[in-house]
Structure 1
Amino acid sequence: MSDRRETDGVDGGETGLTPRAGRRRRVIQQGRIVLGPDRSVACEVMDLSAAGARLRVPARIDLPEAFPLAVAADDLRTVAVRLRWRRGEFAGVTFEGAGLYVG
């Protein structure tokens, strides 16, 4: 089940200070952060925009500057992302290249 409310505001949710590049849509989808050939970590994609996403990742997991993100939407998609911010269990990423289609 997906919650598809649109959100406006700033990166990082209610406490962030950097203006967002576009409108975000709340989706709550399962994802996996690929950290190496045999290592990945489960995450939740909390919301999406045309430029990036907000992820929920266990706070104990260190994230690299850039990594592949696999998202289980209507189909399984993998996209290259760049870490923009991290606060506790939440992280903001921007899509590199084509990104994900947000309809």
Structure 2
Amino acid sequence: MDAATTQRTETGRDPLAGRRHRVMLQGRAQVGPDHLLPCVVRDLSRAGAKIRIDRDLPLPDRFALYIAGHDLRSVSAALRWRRGDFAGVAFAEPAEGGA
């Protein structure tokens, strides 16, 4: 058993889930039934992302995040922090297609 597997077993967490990758992908935050806000995904991991979104656009505590890339991913996101035009979100489930 390797160290990552041992750590995952002992802590119950996947140490690779937080490994971030710098990206620049178009995204949309769904903040209402028919309301999508444009954003840019700047960092991405299996556990969450950092997005760039206009500071004047309000984000709810939970929302669907659509990420365009080689495929279209949809994840349930929870707002963790917000500073200026940037926000950090945690995914309720791993991003489809992984990071």
**Percent identity at matched positions?**
50
Corresponding residue of 2:66: 70
Residue of 35, 43, 60 corresponding to 1:47? 43
Q: CA deviation at 1:98?
A: 3.1
Counterpart Cα distance in 2 of 1:27 and 1:57: 15
Q: Which amino acid aligns with 2:86?
A: F
Aligned length: 82
Q: CA deviation at 1:97?
A: 2.0
Corresponding residue of 2:80: 84
Matching of residue 28 in structure 1 with residue 24 in structure 2: yes
Per-residue CA distance 1:8-34 (angstroms, 9 max, x = gap): xxxxxxxxxxxxx72210011000000
Counterpart Cα distance in 1 of 2:46 and 2:70: 17
The two structures have a TM-score, normalised by structure 2, of 0.78
Cα separation, partners in 2 of 1:50 and 1:98, compared to 1, 3 Å:
closer
Larger Rg: 2
Q: Which amino acid aligns with 1:51?
A: A
Corresponding residue of 1:93: 89
Say what the alpha-carbon RMSD is for the aligned residues. 1.2
Counterpart Cα distance in 2 of 1:99 and 1:25: 13
The two structures have a TM-score, normalised by structure 1, of 0.75
Counterpart Cα distance in 2 of 1:23 and 1:38: 33
Counterpart Cα distance in 1 of 2:89 and 2:21: 14
Q: CA deviation at 1:78?
A: 0.9
